[in-house]
Amino acid sequence: MEGRIFLSLKEARRLHVINQTIDGKLTAAQAALVLKLSIRQVKRLKRGVMILGEAFLAHKNRGKTPKHAIGKKVRDLVVSLALDARKFKDASCEHMAELLAEYHGIAISSRSIRRILNEAGIKLKYARKPARRRRSRDRMPSSGILVQIDASPFAWLEDRGPSASLHGGIDDATGALLALFFRPTEDLLGHLSVLFQMLLRFGIPRAIYSDRHTIFFSPKKDKLTLEEEIAGKRVALTQFGRAIGELGINHIPALSPQAKGRVERLWETLQGRLTIELRLAGVSTIEEANGFLPGFIERFNRRFAVQPSVPESAFSPCPPREILDRIVCVKETRQASQGSTISVRHQIYRLLTSSGATLPLRPRSKVEVLSCLDGSTSALYNGEVYRLQECPAHERNQTGDLLGKRELTSPKIRKPPADHPWRTSIKPRKRTPNLGEPPYEGFWEDVYAAR
């Protein structure tokens, strides 16, 4: 394999796109859109690959030692001095850089020393820097511009009940609690319930600020194929991301817990206040705790909510309840079978019209199954919502379709004719005599006559 060029992932991806351009499968404009380059750069890469091959895309300094690289002799000296108890042992990297310049005439940065010692496996005594002081971000001017959501696992019921996670949302401008909801663990149902309560009570906010939990952002957001990128597809959405996208809410990911400090500080306040009030109310189950929350939210907002600098609210009007139920739910796409049925969680269902009749479905058509927050399940087909009815087992055939909709026919067996070469080429086997049959007609009469 001598002389082979090893490309990085980025270079290999560029090579694939450029080869598609050379073969005429992509235009220069399409390749520029995928590679996020200008058309001029794409044409330059195409011309270079056609002349020099894939080596044109490899960096020309690959395999060469940089001129400014720290030599092995200096690296070994830094490691030996850091290990020597009589020299620089337990010295900080900044101090070690000063001592090297003063006593050995070696100019090297503290960052390079830290990297050398980390590669050598030497534990640094002063590895952590003091926390940076950050100025608090100003509140948004009016309510509804930004809502921070999160969940906090805690012993909210202490030793009286199970552990639970409290899901909540807080308005950035006023610090008012918009919604709270208890669940055994942080999950999609808890965050959708908070969103549903907030929409009914206040309306649609402009933006939601959350962490990068997989409930909010898909872990496969960067896994689009080349064909999907060319087709203009966006990143994959979670159920929560799909719901707020249909509502027109901008979703902002927080890169650290400190970035959403307002909701993080909320949990500290609630863990000190809500826990005591739940104890005084004698609440011991999650269901009782959820029933206790509306009154607590009202008291909390009277005590802690502040007036925004702009009194006009930025919340948009909430859509009607029937439309809201179609959005804030779990949507699953199913494909209709030949018998006008769909399969949902290992069960076969048919769609019913308002009169109770079975709705005929076009085979392989798409049906969206809606699992609402109240536990009900319905289907959305061609923009209309239908009830689901489970098909009894005795009405299904082996494929799950309704009996009578499609008959199961056995495949036809083709028998070759008597003069087929397959029959004539095989010699007939000698038949073994059946001992149970007489060898000739009248055999048994001769036997009795002999007796």
Question: What's the pLDDT score for residue 153?
Answer: 94
Q: Which of 46-50, 164-168, 265-269 has the highest average model confidence (pLDDT)?
A: 164-168
Question: Which option is the CATH number for 147-304: 1.10.3720.10, 1.10.10.1110, 3.20.20.150, 3.30.420.10?
Answer: 3.30.420.10
Q: Which residues contact 371 (CB under 8 A, 6 or more apart)?
A: 329, 330, 331, 332, 377
pLDDT at 137: 79
* 368 vs 451: CA distance, rounded Å: 88
Average pLDDT rounded to a whole number, residues 113-140: 78
Distances, alpha carbon 237 to alpha carbons 118, 216, 297, in Å: 39, 8, 31
Which tokens is 383 given? 């923009």
**Which comes out higher in pLDDT, residue 155 or 94?**
155
Say yes or no to pLDDT of 184 above 50. Answer: yes
Q: How much of the chain, in percent, has pLDDT values that exceed 70? A: 81
How confident is the model over 156-168, as pLDDT tens digits? 998 899 999 999 9
Q: Which band of pLDDT confidence, cut at 50, 70 and 90, is reported for residue 405?
A: very low
Lowest mean pLDDT among 36-40, 92-96, 371-375: 92-96
Inter-axis angle of helices 72-83 and 110-119, to 10 degrees?
A: 80
Quick one: pLDDT at residue 404?
A: 46
Question: Which tens digit of pLDDT belongs to each residue from 272-315?
Answer: 888 888 988 889 999 999 999 999 999 999 888 999 999 999 99
1: pLDDT strictly greater than 50: no
Position 192 scores a pLDDT of 95
| pLDDT of residue 10 exceeding 80 | yes
- Pick the residue with more confidence: 123 or 187? 187
pLDDT at 9 over 90: no
Asked if 168 and 266 touch (Cβ cutoff 8 Å), the reply is yes
The dihedrals phi and psi of 332, each to the nearest 5 degrees, come to: -130, 130
Query: Alpha carbon of 250 to those of 146, 205, 242, 243, 273: distances in Å?
Result: 9, 9, 11, 11, 32
On the question of pLDDT at 27 being above 80, the answer is yes
> What confidence score (pLDDT) does residue 315 get?
94
Give me the chain's average pLDDT, please: 83
Contact 26, 39 (CB under 8 A): no
pLDDT at 56: 85
Model pLDDT, residue 68: 80
Instruction: Specify the range with the lowest mean pLDDT, choosing from 55-69, 175-189, 215-229, 324-338.
Output: 215-229
Higher pLDDT, 408 or 325: 325
Residues 431-446: pLDDT tens digits?
A: 544 545 555 666 666 6
pLDDT of residue 179: 95
260-263 contacts, C-beta under 8 A, 24 or more apart = 260/148, 260/150, 260/209, 260/210, 260/211, 261/136, 261/137, 262/148, 262/170, 262/172, 262/175, 263/148, 263/149, 263/150, 263/168, 263/169, 263/170
CB 305: neighbour CB atoms within 10 A?
Answer: 16
Distance of alpha carbon 224 from alpha carbon 157, whole angstroms: 44
Residue 407 has pLDDT above 50, yes or no: no
Residue 96, pLDDT score: 81
- For residue 450, is pLDDT > 50? yes
CA distances in angstroms from 316 to 188, 204, 248, 307, listed in the order given: 24, 5, 10, 19
Give the rounded percent of residues in the chain with a pLDDT score beyond 90.
Answer: 35
Q: C-alpha dihedral over 357, 335, 191, 181, to 10 degrees?
A: 30
- Whether 114 has a pLDDT exceeding 60, the answer reads yes
